[in-house]
Amino acid sequence: MDTQQNEKDVTDTKAQETLDPAGVGELATQVVINSSDNAQTNTEMAYLDYKGKTDMNNGHCYSDPLRLRGGGDEDDDNENVVDMTDAEGNSGDMVPAGGSQKRGPPSPVAQSSKQPRTVGRVTDHRELNDLLGWLEQTVIQEKSKKLGVQVSEKMLSKLARLRVVTTGLMHDNSKLQGEIKGKEDTQRMSLTCFTDKLDAKNAEANSLKAELDTLRKAGPAPSKEPVPRPTYADRVASARKATVATAPKTIKAKEKEQLKKSRQVKATSRFMVEIPKDMTVATAKAGLWETVRTKIKNPRAKTIVSGKSLIIIPDDANTLEVMKDLKQAIEISPRKPRLILYDVESGITGEELAECLLGQNPELGLTAEDVGCMTPLHKLGPRDGHVVHWVIEAPANVVSKLENRSIYIGMTRCRCKVHSSTPQCYNCQQYGHTSLRCEQKEPTCRHCAGAHDSRECKNEVVKCANCKGPHKASSATCRAKTQATRSLLRRTDFGSK
């Protein structure tokens, strides 16, 4: 009996000395050998299971039951002493330790527990549950025994790790509380701003409501007489008035307004300077500038390059006097206004035209001197027609008496307007001269802007030679023609405005 007792003590001592760092495998072997201890352990495991469920209801995060495994605990990540997975429902079974016994294949749940854990707070909570479960299990199993060195060291390491995890959770908790407080402050500010705006809108609505009530009380009493219904004629008249009032300006109206503004510009004398053949435009301008600077310190003028000549337009009286003294500058006086008389009998000559203006139209206030200043220039219209359009040149004071008036000439009442059309060359299609004075040798087509005669054109595509628009060069809507007309009016002396 003594020998058997000694062998039993030796076996218990070896089992105690061969404890792994976690001490779980040897504790499980001791529980299997000692039936009374095994029964006690089963009772405590049942208590833990009940406590875990109770703690889950109380807010603890014991999500998985505990399970003990045999073997060492050298790798915490791969083989923990306390496995938090539910392996086939045997969370309280004890497995005897020892290298001779073979392990069965791990369950799918056990394999899934070895997968990489989720990074973040979920991992910290799970690790905290593992640490608490291991400590509780170790305390229950070792409370009636002497605590070993390895178990103590393992417990200290677990406690240190528990402190680290707890500190991290506290830090995260503080950070989240700060974020929550910041969001609450932002929401509070937004709510305050919205409340202020809502109060302002309510105050405005109340003031408008009070003003409306005041107007209703101060207004006249509604008349009991029936309101007369408008007739069809009244509706048509009101519709016409509305249409006329809201009609936008057309292109012709805008052009007329621009031409009217061009007439308001005061015309001055111009000077033309011929550019020598052996000199460039830049050199000619520089030489002219130096010549003018010798006589006036700060000349003011506008220079336009026109072919092989320079057009100088003075902007002040001093520059005008200096340009008049230059020998190479040819003065071009402002153009006199021209009038056109429509539908004049073709048999009336220029001399008879002046006599009719003076004798048949006393209401115009013309004098013999005014009629003597007028110069008939040429006729427009068909040569073999019964009526023609006379173009005359007159001073500005005479134009103001005849413009937009009805004039009696012979047995016809004629209309008189300012003649603002500029001549167009049928060879190069440019404005300002006729084909008799054109310097271009090759013709330009009026229809397609090609380098051929307009009478020989066979192209279907229409293109303007001046503005490149989809119309003929002789079109009345051409922008180049409008610009030429405005330039002509600016060079015409219509008197002081």
Q: Which helix (H) or strand (E) holds 355?
A: helix 350-359
296 touches 304 (CB < 8 A) = no
Q: Which helix (H) or strand (E) holds 376?
A: strand 375-380
Report the 10 Å Cβ neighbour count for 332.
Answer: 14
**Do 320 and 403 share a domain, yes or no?**
no
**Do 287 and 388 share a domain, yes or no?**
no
373 touches 395 (CB < 8 A) = yes
Q: How far is C-alpha 251 from the geometric centre of its chain's CA atoms?
A: 31
Residue 183 pLDDT: 93
Q: How far is CA 414 from CA 7, 374, 395, 410, 447, in A?
A: 152, 17, 20, 10, 35
Q: Is the pLDDT of residue 241 over 70?
A: no
**Do 286 and 326 share a domain, yes or no?**
yes
Q: Write the pLDDT tens digit of every residue in 271-289.
A: 888 888 888 888 888 888 8
Asked, for residue 225, whether it belongs to a domain, the answer is no
Asked, for residue 305, whether it belongs to a domain, the answer is yes
Q: Write the pLDDT tens digit of every residue in 289-323.
A: 888 888 888 888 888 888 788 888 888 888 888 88
Q: How far is CA 122 from CA 57, 128, 201, in A?
A: 19, 10, 49
Q: Which of 399, 418, 437 is the last residue of a domain?
A: 418
Question: How far is it, in rounded angstroms, from Cα 448 to Cα 451?
Answer: 9
pLDDT band at 60 (very low <50, low <70, confident <90, very high): very low
Neighbouring residues of 18: CB distance < 8 A, sequence distance ≥ 6: 26
27 touches 142 (CB < 8 A) = yes
Q: Which helix (H) or strand (E) holds 375?
A: strand 375-380
List the beta strands (DSSP E) in 238-300: 270-274
Q: What's the pTM value of the predicted model, to 2 decimals?
A: 0.45
Residue 190 amino acid letter: S
**Do 296 and 320 share a domain, yes or no?**
yes
Asked, for residue 444, whether it belongs to a domain, the answer is no
**Do 282 and 375 share a domain, yes or no?**
no
Question: How far is it, in rounded angstroms, from Cα 15 to Cα 31?
Answer: 11
Asked, for residue 469, whether it belongs to a domain, the answer is no
**Do 325 and 352 share a domain, yes or no?**
no
- In eight-state DSSP terms, residue 369 is H
Tracing tokens 């539908």 back to the chain, one arrives at 343
Residue 376 pLDDT: 92
CA dihedral 45, 49, 55, 56 (to 10 degrees): 150
Nearest to 476 by CA among 422, 440, 434, 438: 422
pLDDT band at 247 (very low <50, low <70, confident <90, very high): low
Q: Which of 332, 349, 379 is the last residue of a domain?
A: 332
Beta bridge partners of 345: 387
67 touches 85 (CB < 8 A) = yes
What's the CA angle centered on 209, arms 208 and 215, to 5 degrees? 90
**Do 23 and 146 share a domain, yes or no?**
yes
- In eight-state DSSP terms, residue 424 is B
Beta bridge partners of 302: 313
Q: How far is CA 157 from CA 18, 27, 378, in A?
A: 19, 19, 121
- Collapsed DSSP state (helix, strand, coil) of residue 415: strand
296 touches 319 (CB < 8 A) = yes
CATH of the domain at 397: 3.30.70
Q: Tally the domains of the chain.
A: 3
**Do 52 and 140 share a domain, yes or no?**
yes
Asked, for residue 435, whether it belongs to a domain, the answer is no
- Collapsed DSSP state (helix, strand, coil) of residue 341: strand
**Do 303 and 392 share a domain, yes or no?**
no
Domain coverage including residue 354: 338-418
Average confidence (pLDDT) over 201-227: 81
- Collapsed DSSP state (helix, strand, coil) of residue 178: helix
**Do 51 and 75 share a domain, yes or no?**
yes
412 touches 361 (CB < 8 A) = no
Q: Which of 390, 418, 446 is the last residue of a domain?
A: 418
Residue 151 amino acid letter: V
Question: How far is it, in rounded angstroms, from Cα 375 to Cα 357?
Answer: 13
**Do 25 and 163 share a domain, yes or no?**
yes
Q: Write the pLDDT tens digit of every residue in 448-485.
A: 999 999 999 999 999 999 999 999 999 988 999 988 88
pLDDT band at 216 (very low <50, low <70, confident <90, very high): confident
Please report which residue ranges of 34-148 form alpha helices under DSSP H: 35-57, 108-113, 121-142
Average confidence (pLDDT) over 164-172: 86
Q: Write the pLDDT tens digit of every residue in 370-380.
A: 999 999 999 99
Residue 121 pLDDT: 60
pLDDT band at 250 (very low <50, low <70, confident <90, very high): low
